[in-house]
Amino acid sequence: MATLELYSKGANVWVPDPDAVWVSAQLLQDYRSGEKHLLLQLSNGNEVHYPVGSPSDLPPLGNPDILEGENDLTALSFLHEPAVLHNLRVRFLDYSSIYTYCGIVLVAINPYDQLPIYGEEVIDAYSGQDMADMEPHIFSVAEEAYRTMIRSGKNQSIIISGESGSGKTVSAKFTMRYFAVVGGAAQQTSVEERVLASNPIMESIGNAKTTRNDNSSRFGKYIEIGFGRKGDIIGANMRTYLLEKSRVVFQASTERNYHIFYQLCASRELPEMRSLKLDAPENFRYTNQGGEMQIPGTDDLSDLERTRNAFTILGVQPDQQMELFRILSAVLHLGNVNIQASGRSSDRGYIDDRSLAVFSKLLGVEGSQMAHWLCHRRFAVGGEMLVKPMTGQQAVEARDALAKHIYGQLFAWTVQRLNSALRAQQGRTKSFVGVLDIYGFETFERNSFEQFCINYANEKLQQQFNRHVFHLEQEEYVREELAWSRIEFSDNQQCIDLIEGQLGMFDLLDEECRMPKGSDESWVRKLYDQHLNSKPHPHFRKPRMSNSAFIVLHFADTVQYECDGFLDKNRDTVFEELINILKASQSELVAELFQQQRNASPVANGSIRSGKRATREHKLTVGFQFRQSLQMLMETLNSTTPHYVRCIKPNDLKEPFLFDPKRTVQQLRACGVLETIRISAAGYPSRWTYEEFFSRYRILLRGPQSQDQAQASCRQALPQLIPDPDQYCFGKTKVFFRAGQVALLERLRAERLRVAAVIIQSQVRGWLARIRYTRILWATLTIQRYSRGAVGSRLALILRYTRAALVIQKTYRMMVVRQLFFMIRHATVTIQAFTRGMLERRRYRLVSIYQLLKLTALAWPCPLSATASLSVCASDIRVDSALSLAPGLPASVLFLCVRQADCSGDQARARSLCIPALLESETIQGLSGSAVKLAVSRKRAGSDPRTVGGEAPTMASVLRELGALHTALTQQALPKTLMEQAFHQLTYLICASAFNSLLLRKDMCSWSRGLQIRYNVSVLEEWLRGRGLQAGGAVATLEPLIQAVQLLQVGKKTEADAQGIVRTCSALSSQQIVKILTLYTPHSDLDERVTLNFIRSVQGLLKGRSNSQPSQLLMDVRRVFPVIFLYSPPPVLSAEQLVIPDSLKISFLRKA
């Protein structure tokens, strides 16, 4: 419960609402203990009386405005459901940010739109960065897992969960793509390409359209991506869970079967597909039940081509692909087999259908045997085997069970082939990162065996999550030397024991399946007897109005399950005679599928949505197989360092950026995000270093204080500010607060600031009055002084006029005499000059004739050949050899050698040098030190701090590197135009790298940091202008970065400020401007965050601007400007076409 003092006039609270779940309200009067009502004003302006029975019934408090839009939910002062919902809504709708941290969990909201935040430039920006410094993103989780694996050598796992349509599969694909880029190689058919090629195959055979999602994964999967010692991908392995085989034979309205069936039907006109006898999907029973034949925006024919290409990449030959397509087509034809009741007896069925003949031909089995055993069954009576005909309904069920079984075996075979193609060599895998994509918690109007298994799996995952969070909290408390024994965390072990323990629900279900006459009703009665009457269990209940249902209290919600079909779905078997027919098939692949079944592992992929017939051959139940596979999964996860991603579906209409609070809250409860909040709130969710606390709340401390004694000051002042010692705790380097205490300190700080503001205002008003009096007095004296000066000036002016007349007369007479003197002197000098010139020219002609005769005399006796005395060197080419060489051969050899030089690492070195120098170096000393931390900012649990190896780069080091390059180019006599183009390209790389890092780091977006960056950029500008490089566009290339830092320094409050931003930031796109305004962080107490209304105003003005700017968020660091050479290039040469004779003696060269 929050401190009662916080319920004062003006405080924000949250009250329940039937439509919006929670609405904001403001207290109109202080709350006093014992009052039964609160007077509130809702956000729509209405006043209401909120009933309060006791202090525990008080509505949840709202967080301070300074914490609105935080990128980590655990940084909120009040951790409760309305605060979490509001923060997610603000980030999703106002900031267009789909990712938010929640402690160690990344919450991802499906935008139902294509966002430009997954390109290679974004991967480059997140690669090698610390997770705590970057904005929330799926790439930040992948980078954290990858770097932790490289650093510690320990295996990692990324657990992605959420309901259908929330974006789990897309998140898993982007995670795998990130690993493929950062751990990839350059081979054309590398392991990375094969890992990515598995996605279209699994989507084709494992995904289908549902009412909630057009591309819903109907199975869970866990992919282990193996890495070598150098961090490169060397292999992968996939495990699958919970394949929905019942979809093969039945689809609900507006749903589809698996994509592969419709892809095959769309390709029926291809020459190689005509032998499959396919037709339009409307003509197959297994594809027309849902009424949806086509998904808008998709092309089944092109999707099949992509699937076949993926099979080829993974090493599946075309003939094997056709065998696979033949089996899938046979499943479609099996669904069209018409089974009718016999005319002689209504309890018998018979088959007389051409679809069965096509089915038998495609699978290579005997049609008569298949027709017989689809309508008959064999059983033992007294040691004798009898054959009994089945009714028409029983035969239809046997047909559907066979279709599901064939598809399940084919699915398992495909996964096995994928693993064979992706498997790494023995002993090469050093560590791996596992990606788990599995169903989230499910609850519907009617819940059956499928939801029971899914929710059981989520109970196990939630337990693993709770214990991991508790472990991280425990490590933090031990590291800070806190007494953490008082903190309690919830555990769901009791619910798990109810399901999987001895005489639990799975045990009783398996026991009932072994009974000859077992039934669902008998199993439910055993549950009532065991868990209600004999030993009442706190997580098990019985519905009041039903004897065929039961209720389980899961961690996320209370779910009522209907027992119908539990036994049949748990058995999941097919008749032995049909299996034997398929084993004897002439098709090698069909025989292989069902021969492997005999030796199948008990933990093979089990279906939880399948048939209704059982035989003695298959004794392992689905529940038993699923428990064992889940146990193996939990052992794997417990041996790794987990990372969690919770995907949220914001609405059921699949509309972009539409937020439904009811659906969102339901998923937050189901996926464990609110449980994370409760775990954090149970301990000390807010934690500050002593320096941060002292810097923020030093105004609450009395007496002289010193930054060097921050810890002692905090320990002395906190007991006076918070009387209850249980609400805070002192650690070794941090002070910890329980939920709500930071808001209390913020309120005390605001009150102290208000009192100080009143004092400052009074002093300023007195100062202004004194200044006004002083100015009036000064103005009076000035007027008197100027009046007296004017009178004196008139007298002085008359005296100056008299004296000036005398000076003018004297000067005029002097000028007349001087002009006569200068004229005579000029004439004399002119005559002398002409005379001397004539004499000198005469002498020069005589000297020239003498020199010519002398040189002629010296040149007459010289030999005919001046090169006869030269000797031939060893490095010279003989004349006869040189004449036989191809024209320009030595020059061609030198050109090819220079072209093969590898300078590919220069860009990465330039980026690692320029980003810290431009963004982080403090050229203006002490400026960033004045900034005050306005929000709770702490390193995330589980993130190791990055060590700094050596001195950080500065602008001086950047200018030294640029100066060295400029000197080298100048010494090589590079033309100025080429030098300008080279520095134009280099300046763009520096600008794009620094600009992308600025957009992804919130700590860079402040007024003080913008001033630092602007100064660093101006230093670079002056250097470029000082060397005359601005003509090539190098200075103009820095314009986006200059406008970005100017945006951090201008005012951001009024409409005029918004118009100025739109007019000034012409080099920035709309997305970039909004992103910088969103990330802006106040640098001191006098500064404020950018309001949402101002951001919306800027967005409205930006819509009217021309669309000349690109729409992407980040600049393309790989952009290369064309280089113009002012010469005619020689013919293109290649090393293969060049013949180098032995006479050149350069045999040490090798052709690359």
Residue 226 β-bridge partners = 235, 432
CA 209 to chain centre: 26
Is the Cβ–Cβ distance between 76 and 70 less than 8 Å?
A: yes
- Do β-strands 431-439 and 156-162 pair in parallel, antiparallel, or remain unpaired? parallel
754: which 2 tokens?
């208000």
Written as six digits, the tokens of 1027 are 């060397």
Q: For residue 890, give every residue at least 6 positions away whose Cβ sits within 8 Å of its Cβ, in sequence order, or none.
A: 1144
| Catalytic (active site) residue 169 | yes
The position carrying tokens 């007024």 is 1007
Q: Would you call 1147 a catalytic residue per the annotation? A: no
440 is an active site residue? yes
CA atoms of 596 and 585, how far apart (whole Å): 14
Q: Tell me if residue 343 is catalytic.
A: no
Query: Given 161, 213, 287, 447, which residue is catalytic?
Result: 213
Q: Are strands 207-208 and 216-217 parallel, antiparallel or unpaired?
A: antiparallel
* Spatial contact of 605 and 632, defined as CB atoms under 8 Å apart: no
Q: Give DSSP secondary structure letters for 805-834.
A: HHHHHHHHHHHHHHHHHHHHHHHHHHHHHH
Nearest alpha-carbon partner for 110 in 16, 215, 24:
215
CA distance 62 to 594: 62
Binding-site residue numbers for ATP are: 162-169
Concerning whether 442 is annotated as a catalytic residue, the answer is yes
CA distances from 15 to 58, 60, 497, 1102 (A): 9, 7, 37, 36
What are the b/e assignments for 195-234, b being 16+ CB within 10 Å?
bbbbbbbbbbbbbbbbeebbbbbbbbbbbbbbbbeeeebb
Which residue ranges are tagged as binding site?
Answer: 162-169
- For residue 868, give every residue at least 6 positions away whose Cβ sits within 8 Å of its Cβ, in sequence order, or none: none
Residues 110, 157, 217, 447: which is the catalytic one? 217
CA distance to 104, 429, 761, 978, per residue, from 155 (Å) = 17, 11, 61, 50
Catalytic residue among 140, 169, 573, 713: 169
Reported residue count of the chain is 1152
* 419 belongs to the catalytic site: no
Q: What does R_g of the chain's alpha carbons equal in angstroms?
A: 42
Which residue in 62, 69, 165, 235 is the catalytic one?
A: 165
- Beta bridge partners, 25, equal 13, 42
* Both structure tokens of 1062: 């739109």
858, β-bridge pairs: none
Q: How many CA atoms lie within 13 A of 516 on its CB side?
A: 1
Q: What order do you get walking across the sheet with 540-541 strand by strand?
A: 540-541, 549-553, 558-562
Nearest to 552 by CA among 579, 531, 577, 526: 531
How far apart are the C-alpha atoms of 64 and 66, rounded to whole Å?
5
Q: In this structure, what is the dihedral angle of CA atoms 512, 516, 519, 525, given to the nearest 10 degrees? A: -50
Q: How far is CA 320 from CA 324, 417, 553, in A?
A: 6, 11, 48
User: 728 in the Ramachandran plot: left (φ > 0), alpha (ψ -120 to 50) or beta?
Assistant: beta
Cα 179 to Cα 143: distance, rounded to the nearest angstrom: 8
**DSSP string for 296-337:** TT--HHHHHHHHHHHHHHTT--HHHHHHHHHHHHHHHHHHT-
Task: Give the whole-angstrom CA distance, residue 988 versus residue 990.
Answer: 5
Phi–psi pair at 884, nearest 5 degrees: -85, -10
Torsion of CA 953, 959, 963, 965, to 10 degrees: 50
Catalytic residue flag (residue 165): yes
- Which candidate in 68, 143, 397, 442 is catalytic? 442
Residues annotated as catalytic are 164-165, 169, 213, 216-217, 440, 442
